[in-house]
């Protein structure tokens, strides 16, 4: 009777990850040989594995998108990164985090601030407003006036397309409840692009006079993003406060949780002195803190001129702002104006080109040469396409467009939604 053996088992795990390990496999004897039968062969065997060097260079991911500009005007910056996909091993090499192979940096919004800028960014912003007792009545009124002045500079809709959305959470109602927990912050208003509704909500806020339960405000902000946040909008929380929170550890944990979810954190500390409170806000603000924090030197300064500090906040915290005054001057000199994003008025005429290398200026020149008074410029997957439009734009239409840039009227009809094209109108060029 010959020996009968089972099939080989699978290979075992290698004993070393690199520089020569061993792996093995086995098989069992099912029938022992008898009466001169063929003997059993080997029941186990091994082989070398992972013979390569332990040294391994890191592997990087693809470039991220450019970050939004750090400021709206006056000179900011944008960044992009290559994250590490596979880390180094042994004596392997990896470019330093600030190496040109991993980190990109460029200037943006280098134009000077005019002073009348408004925010038209696609941003979901939670205003976390302090109403704690340390403010006192006069300070609470000044803070409300400042917040209202700031909100007036945000546009929920511009060029007929939804941009900003704001939600409001109020803290400063802190108290220890009977069960030993801290009172939740107040859910004042969920996300809305109706800025009139936001203003009304601010006016209706009451002075709470409790302790500073800032961590609970961040919990409410997380709920706002979960229930109403937009995937393609920048998520941000702006905290307006006069002092440090009551529970530092708990608040710090909430700050880290928000940062892990790529939420921008803006802080507006209202303190006369550059003490521990200001140092704490610098630590919690998104990096780099100088572009994500505006220090207001006390309630008296805030009450004296809320407009100055509101403008500082808008310029730093809004990645896309525009000056109506400078835009009007620029449009007059260029000879065309953007009327509506993601929408068309009237019918398309002819496709002038589908290989446009330049931007709106080139499309405007081609449309004018084609005899059109308006044009449609492709975006996203239609980028490079330039259509003339059949709408015959008149001086009175231009005047009507200028009256309401947020929600312009389509002459003689309704806007046709189009996710791939923006609508422009031509106007006479001013020759000086």
DSSP character string of 54-100: S-B--EE-PPPPPPPPSSSSSSEEEEEE--EEE--BTT-----TTST
Q: What is the pLDDT of residue 66?
A: 84
**How does pLDDT run along the chain (432 residues), one tens digit per residue?**
999 999 999 999 999 888 889 999 999 999 999 998 999 999 999 999 988 888 888 999 999 888 777 777 777 788 888 988 888 887 888 998 888 989 998 888 787 777 778 888 889 999 999 999 989 999 999 999 999 999 999 988 877 777 899 999 999 998 888 888 889 999 999 999 999 999 999 999 999 999 999 999 999 999 999 998 998 888 999 999 987 788 889 999 999 999 998 899 999 999 888 788 889 999 999 988 888 999 999 999 999 999 999 998 998 888 777 777 777 777 777 889 899 988 999 899 999 998 888 788 899 999 999 999 999 999 988 999 999 999 998 888 888 888 888 788 898 788 998 889 999 999 864 444
Do 4-49 and 56-112 fold alike per CATH? yes
Q: What is the CATH code of the structural domain delimited by 324-426?
A: 3.50.4
Q: What is the pLDDT of residue 428?
A: 60
- CA–CA distances in Å: residue 237 to residues 109, 162, 246, 258: 22, 19, 19, 9
Query: Are 263 and 237 spatial neighbours (Cβ–Cβ below 8 Å)?
Result: yes
Residues in CB range of 423: below 8 A, 6 or more apart: 338, 339, 340, 343, 344, 345, 374, 376, 389
Extract the tokens encoding 382. 């239609």
> What is the third-level CATH fold of 56-112?
TSP-1 type 1 repeat (2.20.100)
As a whole number of angstroms, the distance between CA 348 and CA 431 comes to 30
Query: Are 182 and 174 spatial neighbours (Cβ–Cβ below 8 Å)?
Result: yes
Q: What is the pLDDT of residue 71?
A: 75
Rounded (to 5) percent helix, strand, coil in the chain: 30, 25, 45
Residue with tokens 């069992």: 28
Q: Is the dihedral of CA 335, 339, 340, 346 positive or negative?
A: negative
Under CATH, which architecture does the 119-322 domain have? 3-Layer(aba) Sandwich (3.40)
**Extended strands (E) in 144-233:** 157-158, 161-162, 165-171, 186-192
Q: What is the pLDDT of residue 431?
A: 42
The secondary structure of residue 6, as a DSSP letter, is P
Q: What is the pLDDT of residue 161?
A: 72
Closest CA to 294 of 263, 316, 273, 272: 316
Other C-beta atoms closer than 10 Å to the C-beta of 198 total 27
Model pTM above 0.75 = no
The domain spans of the chain are: 4-49, 56-112, 119-322, 324-426
Q: What is the CATH code of the structural domain delimited by 4-49?
A: 2.20.100.10
């Amino acid at each position: 009777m010959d020996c009968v053996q089972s099939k080989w088992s699978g290979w075992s795990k290698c004993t070393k990850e690199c520089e020569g390990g061993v792996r093995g496999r086995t098989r069992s004897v099912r029938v022992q040989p008898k009466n001169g039968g063929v003997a059993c062969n080997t029941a186990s065997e091994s082989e070398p594995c992972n013979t390569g060097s332990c040294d391994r260079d890191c592997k990087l991911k693809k470039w991220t998108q450019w970050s939004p500009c750090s400021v709206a005007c006056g000179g900011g910056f944008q960044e992009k990164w290559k994250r590490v996909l596979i880390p180094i091993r042994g004596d392997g090499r990896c470019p330093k985090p600030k190496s040109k192979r991993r980190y990109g940096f460029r200037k943006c919004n280098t134009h000077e601030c005019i002073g009348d800028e408004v925010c038209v960014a696609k941003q979901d912003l939670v205003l976390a407003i302090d109403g704690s007792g340390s403010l006192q009545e006069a300070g609470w009124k000044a803070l409300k006036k400042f917040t209202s002045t700031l909100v007036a500079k945000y546009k929920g809709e511009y060029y007929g397309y939804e941009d900003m959305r704001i939600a409001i959470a109020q803290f400063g109602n802190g108290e220890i409840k009977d069960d030993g927990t801290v009172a939740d912050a107040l859910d004042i208003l969920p996300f809305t692009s109706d800025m009139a509704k936001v203003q009304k909500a601010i006016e209706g806020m009451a002075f709470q006079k409790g302790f500073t339960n800032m961590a609970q405000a961040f919990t409410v902000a997380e709920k706002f993003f979960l229930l109403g946040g937009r995937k393609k909008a920048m998520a941000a929380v702006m905290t307006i406060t006069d002092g440090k929170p009551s529970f530092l550890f708990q608040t710090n944990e909430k700050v880290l949780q928000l940062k892990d979810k790529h939420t921008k954190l803006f802080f507006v500390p209202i303190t006369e002195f550059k003490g521990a409170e200001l140092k704490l806000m610098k630590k919690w603000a998104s990096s780099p803190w100088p572009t994500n924090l505006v220090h207001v030197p006390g309630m008296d300064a805030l009450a004296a001129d809320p407009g100055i500090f509101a403008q500082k906040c808008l310029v730093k915290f809004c990645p896309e702002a525009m000056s109506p005054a400078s835009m009007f001057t620029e449009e007059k000199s260029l000879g065309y104006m953007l009327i509506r994003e993601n929408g068309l008025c009237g019918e398309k005429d002819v496709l002038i080109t589908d290989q446009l290398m330049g931007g709106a200026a080139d499309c405007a020149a081609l449309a004018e040469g084609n005899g059109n008074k308006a044009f449609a410029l492709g975006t996203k997957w239609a980028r490079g396409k330039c259509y003339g439009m059949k709408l015959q734009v008149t001086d009175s239409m231009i005047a009507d467009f200028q009256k309401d840039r947020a929600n312009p009227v389509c002459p003689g009809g309704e806007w046709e939604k189009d996710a791939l094209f923006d609508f422009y109108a031509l106007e006479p060029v001013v020759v000086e």
